[in-house]
Chain A
Amino acid sequence: MPVNEKKTAFPHNKAGGIRNMEEKEKKDETAAGQTPAAAPEKKKKTWVPWVICLAVIIGLLIGISSNSRPAVTTGSKSVTLTVTNKDGSTQTYEAETDAAFLSDLMTQLADTGTFSYEASSSSYGLYIEAVNGTTADYAADGAYWAIYVNGEYGQYAADAQPVEDGDSFELKYETGQGG
């Protein structure tokens, strides 16, 4: 690879780019060491605030992310799961469970009762395709199984939604934009 061809001029150079280039190459050749004039010092001053800014943003992001991580409690919890069907009819299931996540609860209910569901894992987490034999086909009519937690629109997929004692969950057949 002809990396050491020295007379390369970058196509998008500053006005007076050739001179600039030569200066740059000279600097490269001398490597770290003797620094000509005040140019490098000026550089240092300019990058510092940007890097500090980045560090602050990273800190904020980590802060936001760790505060929003839902805490999971285990142990015997009594919860309810309500299924609201396409026609608006509902079935309610009550359970004593050690499930950490809603998906575990759903699996438990499916193993022990009349509840059933089908789901696939997606990049967003578990995607509920069918509940009690009713398939929500998003591609066909924008239908999907929405998750409500204590009456609020769920923030997590079923496999990320923690189960707390006293929680009431709802799986609701919805079309179009939910919320």
Chain B
Amino acid sequence: VSEIAGEVLRAPHGGLLLVACLAAILVQVGVLAVQGLRRSADTAALSLNVAGALSILVMLVVGGWSTSAARALMTAGFHDESASQKATDLSDSISGQLNALPLMATVAMLALILWLIGVNRALERRPSGGARRAFAALALFGGAALAAGVGVVRWSARLIATFAGLAGVDPSEKGPILGRALDEGHATFRSDARVAYVALGLATLVAIVLAARGGSGTPAPAAPRRSSTVAPLLVTGGALGLAAVLFVLTGPMRRENALPWPTPSSGDDVLLVLDVLTPEVRGPDPLERAPVVEVFNDKTLLDGAPCDLESLGDKLRTLRSYYRMLHPTGRFNGSAVLLVDYSLPIDRFVALAHTIHDAGYDRPLLTFTKVETLWRPVFGKVRRVVATGARLKLLDHADIEAAGADLAGQGTLGTLLVPDDLDIYDDLAKKVVALRNAGGAVALNLGKPPAR
């Protein structure tokens, strides 16, 4: 319990939800205790049971508020600039929701059972058969609602176990494992939901039969009451009106839950950048975890932070030394993710390429983005940027001289491109992609560094 409470506290308003859960149980226990003390009283106090029902309702509303805020936190986490804040938000959101839902369901079921005991106690001393029939109907509906709660608890427990099992799993495997768990969980959730709906349907039928049969064996009231006509009409109107409102509110959620999602991202092919208009090509090489350099016509960004060409070189060298500190036995592969505006003049690209080459990044991945946009019933517009790459080897005049005659034309490093033949970056990208798609390696002869 303390573990669940700790996890629920991570959700927004988690503390308030815990208090509301505790209050919902304590109120029912309090009602039962007061009823026990008042056992000799002539009239049973239904107002206490109304208070009990309200405490359950308040708990559900607070839980709904907390869970919805946790979901919003998850979506907002996509926009956090700080990676650590993003990870914290995502973790708090997932853990908060997955623990708040079963906690709410369990507390609601327990409180409902205690509440029904209290209602039974309040009604059992009433002589009329109507009171007993009313309780029977309440108990039937309550029992059927428990089936819904059990389904939610089973589903949440399964997902919590899946997340717990992800620790230590290779990052590339996490998405598929979670995807499968979601699919299986969704199926069992739907199957448990059908049980709950059937149980509620049967409960309604039994309650109708009880209501239809009632009255024949019970003594007629001493005096006809006007409320015997008005009250059922009020109940009918109120219940159907509320049901219609709930049905309308459920519509978008039902459509959202029924609409399939496209193939999940592997995590490595999605970038959180939107602005760079890269060439409209699809590269054959997968994305790698490497420094991300975004090049616009008027600015350059390294991992999202603006920089000029000179500071770009310094920062890349720093990142390279960090890499060597973190991977003392690993080989630095010279890769950087390059997102370049398609219209960038080729001489500006060559100047940039010299900078990253001189910083030790001589195998950049020319990266091309494609925005996929979805419209979802609840989430609205959802976008992701899928990226592909094409590997390019960078060689300056010193590399060429060192390699000698091998590099002339189709040498050992594959096709050697010369920038003089190109006008804008788009021309280079299309050539590199065509050559890489044909299976060959591609190098770019940068020549001598530009004068600074």
Partners in one complex: no
Binding site for A on B (CB under 8 A): none
